[in-house]
């Protein structure tokens, strides 16, 4: 017998994530009640993932649960916000206890680890779609916006972008490599790690920040446009993971790094000469300088304009 919506929510979705003292009323009423901390700003974001659009139908329910929260935590990281409360809305073709157990387990584990409590939401019948809305805290004026980069600022990125796109290519049979290489890349797609600690240490240091969800070049272009500056990227500086280097040739690796999406690394600018070593220690992830901001407009890669046509060519992954 199919579970009712009430039974579903009660069994799998009513106690997800951390137990926070500032949650006065969680799942079960018409709305949740929370107590915002005095004197802080709230960062608010919401992101949806749709089966067949943002992830292949073969993705495990655990990974889907992880993913819908991770993409939202990444928005908090990119603002330098400390994530706190989430609302989950889930549209499901069928109520399968096994699937729900996996989904809620994947979401719960990441939420608990990041101190986030799921305080409410909605469950409806329909095509598989999950949305999280999230709220986090930022001290007044310290949020990391896209608009503050200045000519002369250094351009930095965390981790090794491109891996997730290569992992997705492997997952969907478009890339072949030894099993351990495939496994490492696929995991970067299935379990993106939102850079929340990095966002926190960048407060008051970075001049601008964005998360890399649509590809490094494209997201850097957005940051440049928002700040009104140009970016000069040095391709020899682009970080490439060992797995990516062993899976594809150098040219393909460069394309994955520049245009692969779904990494949820942070791309940010630092005033010239900033010591990144303490930031790296605080963030727990490698940071790499990939270029410099300049006056003007657009992106250059090793001096060549990286325009829409050039980027378009990168869309066709081998």
Binding region for a second copy (CB under 8 A):
24-25, 28-36, 38, 40-50, 52-54, 74-76, 78-79, 81, 85, 87-89, 91, 119-122, 124-127, 129, 131, 133, 135-136, 138, 143, 145-147, 209-211, 226
DSSP 112-156: HHTT-EEEEEEEEESSSEEEEEEEEEE-TT----SS---TTPEEE
C-beta of 244 vs 314, nearer to a second copy: 314
Minimum Å distance from CB 123 to a second copy?
Answer: 9
Q: Which of 200, 203, 198 is nearest to 82 (CA)?
A: 200
CA-to-CA distance for 78 and 273, rounded, in angstroms? 22
C-beta of 226 vs 252, nearer to a second copy: 226
Q: Long-range contact list for 3-10, CB < 8 A, 24+ apart? A: 3/95, 3/97, 5/95, 5/123, 5/124, 8/95, 8/100, 8/123, 9/123
Residue 236 — φ and ψ, nearest 5°?
-70, -20
CB 243 within 8 A of CB 106: no
C-beta of 182 vs 264, nearer to a second copy: 264
CA-to-CA distance for 193 and 202, rounded, in angstroms? 17
C-beta of 89 vs 274, nearer to a second copy: 89
Minimum Å distance from CB 219 to a second copy?
Answer: 10
C-beta of 30 vs 275, nearer to a second copy: 30
Minimum Å distance from CB 51 to a second copy?
Answer: 8
C-beta of 134 vs 279, nearer to a second copy: 134
Sheet of 230-233, strands arranged across:
208-212, 265-270, 154-158, 287-294, 230-233, 298-301, 304-305
CB 85 within 8 A of CB 117: yes
C-beta of 83 vs 291, nearer to a second copy: 83
Rg of the chain in Å (alpha carbons): 20
Minimum Å distance from CB 129 to a second copy?
Answer: 6
Minimum Å distance from CB 166 to a second copy?
Answer: 23
Neighbour count for residue 57 (Cβ, 10 Å): 7
**Cα four-point dihedral sign 188, 45, 122, 119:** positive
C-beta of 124 vs 172, nearer to a second copy: 124
CB 300 within 8 A of CB 224: no
Q: Which of 252, 250, 214, 220 is nearest to 233 (CA)?
A: 220
Token pair listed for 73: 């935590």
SS3 26: coil
Minimum Å distance from CB 317 to a second copy?
Answer: 19
Minimum Å distance from CB 259 to a second copy?
Answer: 16
C-beta of 50 vs 242, nearer to a second copy: 50
Minimum Å distance from CB 40 to a second copy?
Answer: 8
Minimum Å distance from CB 175 to a second copy?
Answer: 24
């Amino acid at each position: 017998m199919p579970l009712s919506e009430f039974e579903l929510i009660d069994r799998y979705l009513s106690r997800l994530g951390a137990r926070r003292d500032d949650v006065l009323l969680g799942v079960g009423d018409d709305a949740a009640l929370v107590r915002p901390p005095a004197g802080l700003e709230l960062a608010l974001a919401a992101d949806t993932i749709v089966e067949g659009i943002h992830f292949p139908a073969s993705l495990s329910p655990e990974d889907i649960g992880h993913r819908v929260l991770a993409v939202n935590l990444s928005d908090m990281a990119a603002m330098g916000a400390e994530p706190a409360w989430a609302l989950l809305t889930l549209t499901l073709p069928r109520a399968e206890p096994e699937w729900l157990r996996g989904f809620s387990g994947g979401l719960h584990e990441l939420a608990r680890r990041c101190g986030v409590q799921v305080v409410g939401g909605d469950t409806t019948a329909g095509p598989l779609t999950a949305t999280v809305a999230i709220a986090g805290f930022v001290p007044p004026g310290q949020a990391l916006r896209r608009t503050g980069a200045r000519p002369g600022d250094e351009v930095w990125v965390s981790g090794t972008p491109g891996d997730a796109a290569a992992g997705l290519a492997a997952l969907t049979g478009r890339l072949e490599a030894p099993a351990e290489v495939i496994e490492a890349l696929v995991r970067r797609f299935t379990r993106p790690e939102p850079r929340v600690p990095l966002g926190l240490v960048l407060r008051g240091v970075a001049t601008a920040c964005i998360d890399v969800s649509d590809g490094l070049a494209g997201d850097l272009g957005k940051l440049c446009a928002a700040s009104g500056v140009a970016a000069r990227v040095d391709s020899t500086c682009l970080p490439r993971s060992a797995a990516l280097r062993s899976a594809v040739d150098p040219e393909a690796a460069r394309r994955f790094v520049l245009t692969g999406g779904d990494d949820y690394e942070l791309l940010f600018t630092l005033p010239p000469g900033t010591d990144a070593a303490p930031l790296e220690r605080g963030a727990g992830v490698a940071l790499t300088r990939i270029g410099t901001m300049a006056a003007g407009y657009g992106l250059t890669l090793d001096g060549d304009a990286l325009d829409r046509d050039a980027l378009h060519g990168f869309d066709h992954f081998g």
